[in-house]
Structure 1
Amino acid sequence: MTLDASSRNETLYRLVVVSFGLLCVLQAAANIGLRLSLYSSSAKMPDFQAIIKNLTEEREDLKRKLSAFDQYLQPGWVYFYPSFYYISSNQTSWQESRDDCLQRGADLIIINSKEEQEFAIKVQGRTWIGLTDGETEGKWKWVDGTALSTSYWDSGEPNGGQKENCVELRFLKNKYSWNDGQCNWKIFWICEKVVAL
């Protein structure tokens, strides 16, 4: 089940409001700083050109950071702090899924918390995540190279040996959990892109 259009629009609206709020706070701080420097009787005359240059650089930096969000404010992308997630609408193998994510400037989802696990299970049924032991059997690593520390394996998993090297999120036995599966299975996937301000 994917998030509906109103949920995506609400998330986008919140992101725009927060961004606009940050821009307003920055402008207010700049105005206060400028007024204090102008009306301070004990301070020497400030270097207005330096102040203006500094404010201009801060504004341009903020614009660059906000523009990083632009490509992720497209259909199919969902924001859940601190990342954007692309929810696939078709089914492919684990490697094809990862290739698609990389082409989008992201990678398969790395689940770092219980909250992110709960977010991911709301998205679809069977879904590829960015975890594999394809490099060394039994040594599970995320797509960014970090070792697995927190997991949500189903009971008895992982159990597939050399044939099952990719991890899917699935619903089984009345709960969502992880299963090691064959990487050539065709299922949905979730891409993740962390965008820091």
Structure 2
Amino acid sequence: MTADLSAIKANLTECLRTSDIKVSTLTGERNMLNNSLIKVTEELNGLKSCPAGWRMFSCPCYFLSNESGSWEKGREDCKTRGADLVVINSSEEQMFLSNFTKEEIMAWIGLTDSVKEGTWMWINGAPLSLQPFQYWRSGQPDNNGGHPSLGQEDCAHIIYGGEGNNWNDLSCKTNMRWICEKMV
């Protein structure tokens, strides 16, 4: 019985040694692939560039309009530029956009509840509720405090140059700048 246990122990020890070698080999291969991916990504980013007047963050390019208009006018202008109003997909993108300009300005983003009041949707069809982050100002969205005589606030904007929670809802007819986003 002792000989059987010794044989089993020797077999398990050999299996463990073989597994350690395989893990070490796979770890080395993974590290080489990660290094290759980093190099390819750097080369690809070197090939990408944004059009004049646009700024790059990650892969998309962003354009802050110089003119003002309604949410719909902003969206149409973005489309003529091969883009659309910005859809904010991460906290990093939100921080980038919050610091897009040093001056405090307001600009339309691609978020609206015009289809169904209180159900905020991005222009790409994604519901805001699926995202783990939202950056509404305190008390927002408020649809004009629920006063029908003041009109509907169905479009969202961001206050650039601000920090943290800087989204607000306004009437889509309000004149302000907008920010476009497009992939390069």
After TM superposition, is the score higher than 0.5?
yes
Query: Normalising by the residue count of structure 2, what TM-score does the alignment of the two structures yield?
Result: 0.64
Q: Quickly say closer, same or farther: Cα 1:88–1:173, change in 2 above 3 A.
A: closer
1:80 and 2:57 are equivalent in the alignment: yes
Contact 1:170 1:176 in 2 (8 A): no
| Deviation for aligned residue 1:194 | 2.5
Equivalent position SS for 1:163? coil
Superposed, 1:21-36 pairs within 5 Å as: 21=43
Equivalent residues in 2 for 1:39-54 (5 A)? none
Distance 2:154 2:118 in 1: 9
The code of the aligned residue for 1:192 comes to E
1:130 and 2:110 aligned: yes
Who wins on radius of gyration, i.e. which is larger? 2
Residue in 2 that maps onto 1:184: 173
| 1:81-111: CA deviation from partner (whole Å, max 9, x where unpaired) | 0211112111111000000111111110011
What residue ranges of structure 2 are gaps of 5+ in the alignment? 1-39
**In structure 1, what is the Cα distance between the partners aligned to 2:97 and 2:182?**
14
2:73 is matched with which residue: 86, 90, 96? Answer: 96
Aligned equivalent of 2:123: 143
Q: How many residues align?
A: 133
- One of 164, 176, 196 as aligned partner of 2:153: 164
Q: Deviations along 1:144-166, whole A, 9 cap, x unmatched?
A: 01100231001111101561000
Tell me how far apart the structure 2 counterparts of residues 174 and 87 of structure 1 sit (CA, whole Å): 18
The equivalent residue for 1:152 is 135
RMSD: 2.9
Higher deviation after alignment, 147-156 or 160-169: 160-169
In structure 1, list runs of 5 or more residues that go unmatched.
1-17, 23-65
Q: Give the alignment partner of residue 115 of structure 1, picking from 89, 92, 99.
A: 92
Q: Distance in 2 between matches of 1:90 and 1:107?
A: 16
The separation in 2 between residues aligned to 1:147 and 1:106, in whole angstroms, is 20
